[in-house]
Chains A and B, each alone.
Chain A
Amino acid sequence: MMDMNQYLDIFVEEAKEHLQQLNTSLLQLEKNNKDKAILNEIFRVAHTLKGMAGTMGFFKMQTLTHHMEDVLDMLRNERIVVNPDMVDILFECLDALETYVNTVSLSGNEGDKEFKNVVDALSEILEGGTGNGKPAVSQTKEQNPKENDGTPSEKLRVDLNQYDINVINKAFEAGMNVFEIHVELDKGCLLKAARAFIVFQILEKNSEVIKSVPKVEDIEDERFDFEFTVVAITNKDREFFEKEINSVAEIYKVEVTPVFPQHLEAETTEEKVPDEAEMPAKTANVQEESAQTPKKAQKPKKTVRVDIERLDTLMNLVSELIIIKNSLEANLDNADFDTDSIEYLERITTSIHDAVMKVRMVPIEQVFDRFPRMIRDIARELDKDIELHMFGKETELDRTVIDEIGDPLIHILRNSADHGLESRSERAKTGKPPVGNIYLRAYQDGNNVVIEVEDDGRGIDIAKVRRKIVERGLETPDIVASLSDKEVIEYLFKPSFSTADEVTDLSGRGVGLDVVKTKIEALGGVVEVETAWGKGTKFSIRIPLTLAIIQALLVKIGSEKYAIPLSSISEIVNVKPEEIRMVRNQEVILLRNMVIPVVRLNEILEVPDSIENQKAITCVIVKKGDKLSSFLVDSLVGQQEIVIKSLGKVLSNIKYIAGATILGDGNVALILDVNSLAL
C-alpha cells in the first residue's frame, strides 16, 4: 500500500473532476432524459471511477460504481426509462461518491461508510427493470411532464422518443387508434386554462394521452398561447374527437391527424417522429449537435498539474523581484548607468508577473458548476420552482479568489432563493410566472471581475428594514427616517441583522450577509445591492482581477508617500487655490463643466506636515463607480508597479487604507482605499 500513497493525490484530483462532470451530466439528464449522449457520458464517468477505485483498492466505492454502471447500462439500452426518482438515486450515488473521495483525501482510505441504502436502491431498479415489471404505459406517463420542455415552436410539434414509439406500436398491435390532436382556442378566450381543462377531460375520458405540448402543468397554469397539441391512444375514431372537442365553447379549430406505425418505423433511427416532410432534416441536426457537444468537451487539453503552493512561491518570488527592481531604479537614478538595461529588466519583470498571474487564473466555472445542483436541492426543499441561469462561466479569476468566492456566493444565492423568490402562490397573486428566475453572471470589467446574482422575486422591503433597524435598537427612529434607501440597505450587511420573520434552515439566522461582506472586502472587493420592490434584487460583487501586484500612482502628502491604484484614477489636473469653490458646504472643482467634489487627503489622513497654500494644487481625479472625486495631494512621485501587502490582522480594517507596499528604499507606503475615501 505504501506505493499507492503517491497516487492518492492524483486519484483525489481526478475523481473530483469526474464527479463534477457527473454532476453536470446528471443535471442535464434531469432536463433532457432522452438524450443518449448524456447517458453515455454518465456511464463513461461511472466506469472510469470504478476502474480508478478498483486500482486503488477502494472496494466500497468500486461496488457502488459497479451498481451504478449496471443501472446506467440498462438505461442506455432502453430496457428501463429514466424517471425523476431514478435521477434522485443517481444524485445520491454522486453524494456517496463525493463522501468517499473526501474521506480518501483526508485519511487516505475510503472509510467505513457503506451507503447501503443507495446500493439497495440501485439493485431495486435493476430487479424492477430486468423483469417485465412495470407496465409500459404507466412508465410513459411518469415521464411525460419531463418531456418537451423546450419552448413550443410555431406549430407546436410533438417530438416522440423511442419509448413513445414503442408504446404507439403496441397500441396499433392492440388495434387502437393513435391521433395527434391539435386544438386552437378562440383568440378572445379569457379562461384559456378552463377551456383546455374541459378538452383534457374529454380526452382523458376517451383516450390515453401520451404526449402533450406544452406540458400538461403548463396548460393548467395557463402558460400557453391559444393552442396545444396532444398525442392520444384511443379506441374512438377521428370524427368522435372532432365533434366532442368542437362542442366546447370558444374553440377556434380542432385538427385530428392519425399517427401511423409505418410512418414511425421509418424514422425510428432518428428517435423522433416528424409529422411533416420538412421535419426529418431539422431533428437530425439537433440530434447531431447534442451528440457532438459532449464529445468536444471531453477532448483533453494538455495540462500539467501543479501544487498551488508552488505557484504561490513563484508569485512571492516575482513580488520580491519587483521590489528589488524598484529599489534598483531608486538607487540608480543618480548613478551613471545604462538606462536601457533597466528598462529591459522592467519589461521582463512585468512579463513574468503577467505570465505567473495567468497561470494562476482559473475560470469561475469551477465555482459555478456546483450551483445548479444546489439550487435544485433548495428548490425541492422550499417547494419552489427555480430556474438558475448562468452566464460568463469562462470568466477567469485568480485561484485565491476562486477558492474564497464560493461561500459568499452560496450565501447570496440561498438568500435569493429563500427570501428573494416568492412562493408559487404569492407569485401567482402578483401575476408573475410560477417559475422564479435567478441569474448568475460573471464578466470582466476593466481590472475587476463583476459577479451578479439577480432574482425576479419580491425585492427588499425597505420599510421593513427601517422598522427592524429601530426594533434592533441600532438607530433611533429619527435617524432611520433620515437615511436614504441605499443607506438602509447597508444595514442588511451588519452582523446579526435579518429581516426574515421565520428562520428557515437555509437562511434567516442573521449570519450571512455580514459574512459575505467581510469575505468580499477581504478580497479587496465590494458588494452592492440594487432592489426594486416587487421586481427583484440584484447583488453585485466587484473584485479586483489581481490580488498581489498592481500599477499604482505614488503621491506625496507632507513627507508621507501614498499609493493610489492606477485602475481607479481617471486623470490628473492642476488647479489654482481659488478654483476650489464651496457648493452646499462641500468643496468642489469644476472640470469640463462637471462638478467634482474635493477630498483634502491631508485633512482626512491627518497628515501633520502637509504644504498648504500652493500656487497650483495637484488634483488626482478618481472614479468610484461612475462618480468622480478629486483627491488633493502635495505632489506626484510617479507610476510604479507595487506589491500589495496586508497590514496584518491587528490593523485589518483601518478606514481609508487598503493595504501597504514596500518601496524601493525599503520604507512602507500605504495604499489608499479609493472606495472609502471618494465622495
Chain B
Amino acid sequence: MANNDVEKNNRQFVVFKLGDQEFGVDIHNVSIVEKYMNITRVPSTPIYIKGVINLRGEIIPIMSLRAKFGLPEKEADDDTRIIIFKFNDVVMGVIVDVVSEVAYFDDENIESVTSITNDRSLDYITGIVKHEGRLITLLNIEKFALELMSKDTAER
C-alpha cells in the first residue's frame, strides 16, 4: 500500500494476528506465506512444536505461536496461515490466525522495548510500533529457532 513512501529507514513488515493481538515480522526473513496444510506430529518435542509439513519436497518444522504464548489453541480455518521463515540455513514455519497486511514502518516510530523492561522473556520482542491507531508488536522469530536448537544441545 505505501510503496511511495519508501525511505531509507523504512522497513517492510508482515503483519499477522493471534486473536485480537497484532504482530509484525521483518519481511527479510519471510520466505513465503502458505495456507494451512496437514501437519505430521513429531513426538518428544516441546508443546508448541506442532510437527512437520512437506512443502514441495522439503520437510519444515512448524511452531504454533498460540501455544508458545500460552494462548488457547484454535481450530485451523480458511484464514489460518503458515509463515515460512528462513534464517541462514535454518527454515521453520509459524502458524498464525490470519495475515492481515504487509506494511512499511519507519524506524522512528518503533519503540524499543528494552526501555520499558529488562524481562528476558521479552527477548523475542524487538519493538512496538503504532500503526494506523493500532499497536503492533514486532517479533524476532529467529530467537525461537535458536532457543529450540540450544535446548536440543542441552538435552543431549
Query: Is chain B a partner of chain A in the same complex?
Result: yes
- Interface residues in A, total, Cβ within 8 A: 27
Instruction: Choose, from B9-17, B26-34, B35-43, B67-75, the stretch at the interface.
Output: B35-43
- In the complex, which residues of chain A have a beta carbon less than 8 angstroms from the beta carbon of B58? 645
CA distance A605 to B149 in the complex (A): 21
Instruction: Decide if A2 is an interface residue (CB 8 Å cutoff).
Output: no
**A-B interface pairs (CB < 8 A), number:** 81
Q: Are A649 and B57 in contact (CB under 8 A)?
A: no
B110 proximal to A (CB < 8 A): no
Residue A655, interface by CB 8 Å: yes
Contact of B43 among A656, A666, A669 (CB under 8 A): A656
Chain B stretch 106-156: residues in CB contact (< 8 A) with chain A: 145, 148-149, 152-153, 155-156
- The residue of chain B having its C-beta at the shortest distance from the C-beta of A561 within the complex is B40
Asked whether B54 is an interface residue with its Cβ less than 8 Å from the other chain, the reply is yes
- Chain A residues in 8 Å Cβ range of B54: 662, 666-668
Flag whether A560 is at the interface (Cβ < 8 A): yes
Residue of A with least CB distance to B53: A668
B61 touches A648 (CB 8 A): yes
Contact residues in B for A669 (Cβ distance below 8 Å): 40
Contact between B44 and A650 (Cβ–Cβ < 8 Å)? no
- Indicate whether A605 sits within 8 Å of B155 (C-beta atoms), given known contacts A648-B61, A648-B90: no
Residues of chain A lying within 8 A (CB to CB) of residue B45: 651, 654
Q: Are A670 and B40 neighbours in the complex by a CB distance under 8 Å?
A: yes
Query: Given that A651-B52, A653-B152 are known contacts, is A646 also in contact with B57, CB under 8 Å in the complex?
Result: no
A652 to B59, CA, bound (A): 12
B89 touches A653 (CB 8 A): no
The answer, yes or no, to whether A660 is at the interface (CB within 8 Å) is yes
Q: Which residues of B contact A606 (CB under 8 A)?
A: 43-44
Most buried by B among A323, A605, A607, A647: A647
Is B98 engaged at the interface, CB distance under 8 Å to the other chain? no
**Contact of B40 with A648 in the complex, beta carbons under 8 Å:** no
Question: Cβ of B145 and Cβ of A656 under 8 Å apart?
Answer: no
Instruction: Verify if B95 is at the interface (C-beta below 8 Å from A).
Output: no
A657 interfacial by beta-carbon distance below 8 Å: yes
How far, in whole Å, are A105 and B60 apart by their CA atoms in the complex? 36
**8 Å CB interface, B72-93 against A:** 89-92
Q: Shortest Cβ distance from B101 into chain A, in angstroms?
A: 27
- Asked if A320 is at the interface of the complex by the 8 Å CB criterion, the answer is yes
- Say yes or no: B40 contacts A645, CB within 8 Å: no
In the bound complex, residues from chain B placing their C-beta under 8 Å from that of A649 are: 89-91, 145, 149
Q: Which residues of B contact A560 (CB under 8 A)?
A: 40-41
B49: Cβ under 8 A from any A Cβ:
yes
The distance from the CB of B76 to the nearest CB of chain A, in whole angstroms, is: 16
Contact A650 B42 (CB under 8 A): no
Query: Within the complex, what minimum Cβ distance (angstroms) separates A465 from chain B?
Result: 18
> Does the CB pair B42–A670 fall under 8 Å?
yes
Given contacts A654-B45, A657-B43, A648 and B57 within 8 Å (CB-CB): no
CA distance A560 to B45 in the complex (A): 16
Pick the contact of A668: B52, B91, B145, B152 (CB < 8 A).
Answer: B52
Contact partners of B40 in chain A: CB under 8 A: 560, 660, 667-670
Residues in B with CB closer than 8 Å to A656 are 43-44
* Those of A337-352 within 8 Å (CB) of chain B: none
Query: Interface digits, A665-679 against B, CB 8 Å rule (1 contact, 0 not)?
Result: 011111000000000
Q: What is the CA–CA distance of A200 and B4 in the complex, to the nearest angstrom? A: 99
Q: Assess whether A651 is in contact with B90, with CB atoms less than 8 Å apart.
A: no
Tell me the smallest distance from the CB of A643 to a CB of chain B, in Å: 9
Structural contact, B57 and A660, CB atoms closer than 8 A = no
In the complex, A313→B149 CA distance in Å? 29
Q: How far is the CB of A99 from chain B (nearest CB, A)?
A: 31
Contact A654 B42, beta carbon cutoff 8 Å: yes
The reply to whether A662 and B57 contact each other, CB–CB distance below 8 Å, is: yes
- Shortest Cβ distance from residue B103 to the other chain A in the assembled complex, whole angstroms: 28
Report yes or no: A647 in contact with B53, Cβ–Cβ below 8 A: no
Give Cα distance in the complex from A480 to B41, angstroms: 36
Q: Min CB distance, B40 to chain A, in Å?
A: 4
Q: Bound complex: CA of A637 vs CA of B156, how far in Å?
A: 33
Residue pair A650, B57 in contact (C-beta under 8 Å)? no
Q: Are B43 and A650 in contact (CB under 8 A)?
A: no
Contact A651 B42 (CB under 8 A): yes
| Bound-complex Cα distance A660 to B51 (A) | 11
Contacts of A657 in B (CB 8 A): 42-44
> Are B44 and A645 neighbours in the complex by a CB distance under 8 Å?
no
- What is the distance, in angstroms, from B107's C-beta to the closest C-beta of chain A? 29
How distant is A418 from chain B, measured CB to nearest CB, in Å? Answer: 25
Also in contact, A651 and B61, with CB within 8 A (given A662-B54, A667-B38, A668-B53): yes
Contact B149 A650 (CB under 8 A): yes
Query: What is the minimal beta-carbon distance from B46 to any residue of chain A, in angstroms?
Result: 10
* Given A560-B41, A656-B43, A650:B90 Cβ within 8 A: yes
Looking at the assembled complex, report how far the CB atom of A330 sits from the nearest CB atom of chain B, in whole angstroms: 14
Question: Contact at B61–A650, with CB atoms within 8 Å?
Answer: yes
Smallest distance from the beta carbon of A138 to chain B beta carbons, Å? 60
Cross-chain contact B59 with A650 (CB below 8 angstroms): no
- Docked complex Cα distance between A651 and B92 (Å): 10
Residues of A254-303 contacting chain B, CB below 8 A: none
The reply to whether B43 and A648 form a contact with Cβ atoms under 8 Å apart is: no
Cβ contact within 8 Å between B59 and A660: yes
Q: Which residue of A lies closest to B60 (CB)?
A: A648
Chain A residue with the shortest CB-CB distance to B155: A653
Contact B57 A320 (CB under 8 A): yes
Q: How far is the CA of A391 from the CA of B106 in the complex (A)?
A: 66
Chain B residues with Cβ under 8 A from A666's Cβ? 54
**Are A651 and B49 closer than 8 Å at their CB atoms?**
yes
A647 surroundings in chain B (CB, below 8 A): 42, 52, 59, 61
Contact with B along A630-650 (1 / 0, CB 8 A): 000000000000000111111
B52–A660 contact, CB under 8 A?
Answer: yes
Q: Which residues in B have their C-beta under 8 angstroms from that of A662?
A: 54, 57, 59
Tell me which residues across on chain A come within 8 A of B152, comparing CB atoms.
651-653
The interface of chain A, by Cβ under 8 A from chain B, is 320, 323, 560, 604-607, 645-657, 660, 662, 666-670
Provide a sorted-by-A list of 21 A–B residue pairs whose CB atoms are within 8 angstroms.
A605-B43, A646-B59, A648-B60, A648-B92, A650-B61, A650-B90, A651-B42, A651-B45, A656-B43, A660-B40, A660-B59, A666-B54, A667-B38, A667-B40, A667-B54, A668-B51, A668-B52, A668-B53, A668-B54, A670-B42, A670-B43
Kindly list 12 other residue pairs between chains A and B, CB separation below 8 angstroms, not including A645-B58, A647-B59. A604-B43, A648-B92, A650-B61, A650-B92, A650-B149, A651-B152, A653-B152, A654-B42, A657-B42, A660-B59, A666-B54, A667-B40
9 nearest A-B residue pairs (beta carbon)? A668-B40, A605-B43, A645-B59, A655-B44, A650-B61, A660-B59, A649-B90, A653-B152, A651-B61
